[in-house]
Amino acid sequence: MTIKKEQILETALHLFAKEGYSATSTSKIAKAAGVSEGLIFRHFGNKKNLLKELMIQTQETINHLFLPIFEETDPKEVLIKTITLPLRIDKEYYDYWRLQYKLRWEPEYTNNNKFVPILNKFEETFTALNYKEPKQEAILLNQIVNSIAIDILLDRFNEDYIPFLKKKYKL
Amino acid sequence: MTIKKEQILETALHLFAKEGYSATSTSKIAKAAGVSEGLIFRHFGNKKNLLKELMIQTQETINHLFLPIFEETDPKEVLIKTITLPLRIDKEYYDYWRLQYKLRWEPEYTNNNKFVPILNKFEETFTALNYKEPKQEAILLNQIVNSIAIDILLDRFNEDYIPFLKKKYKL
DNA sequence: TCAAAAAAAGTGATTACTCACATTATTTAT
DNA sequence: ATAAATAATGTGAGTAATCACTTTTTTTGA
């Protein structure tokens, strides 16, 4: 991976996340990245493929952020780490999240259950904690984490919410 | 309001909700609505203003859907109506919701606390039910409803979730 | 010296939007 | 009442700018 290719990916990520895929032209990316427009097509073939490579990176990044939760064995610790996950994410990763949430609504974007592994982890956790309906609890927790992430990205999150959730889950 | 103007609004709503604002050209709208492209600009001035008028309609529609919750006085009934709201929405309104959720992520879209009234209603409700932290409970309930709506729109909702929530809130 | 990397200079298609003009609906004057 | 005047609605051909993408030329590093 050359420096310029990385610059294209980095710039495209930022512009796609900020303005959206359709609203971001390849010439705009090239200018912002400080490269010629042709280089984008040399490296990625077409615009859609640039997005595709970006989404692979995005998925890897997000998987990496979830890793500490997967590796945690103590169920209570799983819940704590899950609830506070959005807060612990460094701002440099925000564009990845933003792109992910934005692209959910695109018709081409097939969401084919990328969240199944984390839902299974949550279900195991709630089973270990003797919750009556661990499957539904897992869905609820997943919804909460997503909502917190969205609130943070849209700059309308209130930190008081976290201790409230900790009490709810007796943590 | 003339028939053709209504057709433009209706078609634009559907295309914006489905493909997104930037990805939908005015010529595409005109063709699908069966009018000349010039008429869009006669009625709305420019593309952005078409979206603006559409968003006013959208807000009115959504407010109307929330009305039964606002008018309900029995706190338990408020919760029941809230939890089941996304389920009770007719499919013909889906485009309004989709547009709303999609546009949250656009930089021009200023979200200036349109949800404050419903959050206040929820807070009153939880206060009446003697919940310890009604403000935070209101935020949680709002998150849940939004999550359900998103899941329905993205066609990944499981109906078993509703009875689970009813038990949670002792309904 | 020469292949890969990058830039520069193109391509036709599509974009949002304008404009001159036609048609239809509404108001006004007699 | 009705013809004339005015306003509202609608069309289709045009605009320059921008779009994704291609081809050609130049630069770079081993």
| pLDDT at residue A106, as a whole number | 86
Domain that holds residue B10: 1-45
In this structure, the answer to whether residues B111 and B151 fall within a common structural domain is yes
- A18-26 contacts, C-beta under 8 A, 24 or more apart: A18/A95, A18/A98, A18/B107, A19/B107, A20/A102, A20/B20, A20/B22, A20/B105, A20/B106, A21/A51, A21/A103, A21/A106, A22/B20, A22/B22, A22/B23, A23/B22
In this structure, the answer to whether residues A40 and A86 fall within a common structural domain is no
Considering only residues 82 to 111 of chain A, which have any Cβ-Cβ distance to chain B shorter than 8 Å? 98, 101-102, 104-107, 111
Q: Where are the alpha helices (DSSP H) in chain A?
A: 3-19, 26-33, 37-44, 47-71, 75-83, 85-88, 94-103, 116-128, 134-153, 161-168
| pLDDT at residue B148, as a whole number | 98
pLDDT in tens, chain A (171 residues): 789 999 999 999 999 999 999 999 999 999 999 999 999 999 999 999 999 999 999 999 999 999 999 999 999 999 999 999 999 999 999 999 999 999 999 877 877 667 789 999 999 999 999 999 999 999 999 999 999 999 999 999 999 999 999 999 999
Interface check for A25 against chain B (CB to CB < 8 A): the answer is no
| pLDDT at residue B81, as a whole number | 98
| pLDDT at residue B112, as a whole number | 65
| pLDDT at residue A79, as a whole number | 98
In this structure, the answer to whether residues B38 and B109 fall within a common structural domain is no
In this structure, the answer to whether residues A40 and A69 fall within a common structural domain is no
Rg of chain A over all Cα atoms, to the nearest angstrom = 19
Mean pLDDT, rounded, of chain B: 95
Structure tokens at A99: 């792109």
In this structure, the answer to whether residues A121 and A157 fall within a common structural domain is yes
CATH number, domain at A18?
1.10.10.60
| pLDDT at residue A92, as a whole number | 94
Residues of chain A in contact with residue B144, where contact means CB-CB under 8 angstroms, are: 140, 143
Residues of chain A in contact with residue B164, where contact means CB-CB under 8 angstroms, are: 133, 136, 140
In this structure, the answer to whether residues A13 and A33 fall within a common structural domain is yes
Nearest CA in chain A to B111: A154
- Residue A139 CB: number of other CB atoms within 10 A? 23
C1' of nucleotide C19: residue with nearest CA: B38
Residues of chain B in contact with residue A141, where contact means CB-CB under 8 angstroms, are: none
In this structure, the answer to whether residues A35 and A105 fall within a common structural domain is no
Structure tokens at B150: 């998103």
Q: How far apart are CA B91 and CA B97, in angstroms?
A: 10
pLDDT in tens, B94-124: 999 999 999 999 877 877 667 789 999 999 9
In this structure, the answer to whether residues A56 and A126 fall within a common structural domain is yes
CA angle (B121, B125, B127) in 5-degree steps: 115
8 Å CB contact between B125 and B135: no
Instruction: Give the CA-to-C1' distance from B4 to D3 in angstroms.
Output: 30
pLDDT in tens, B2-33: 999 999 999 999 999 999 999 999 999 999 99
| pLDDT at residue A7, as a whole number | 97
Q: What percent of chain B has pLDDT over 70?
A: 98
Task: Tally the domains of chain B.
Answer: 2
- Residue A107 CB: number of other CB atoms within 10 A? 9
Rg of chain B over all Cα atoms, to the nearest angstrom = 19
In this structure, the answer to whether residues A66 and A103 fall within a common structural domain is yes
| pLDDT at residue B113, as a whole number | 66
| pLDDT at residue B106, as a whole number | 86
pLDDT in tens, B43-87: 999 999 999 999 999 999 999 999 999 999 999 999 999 999 999
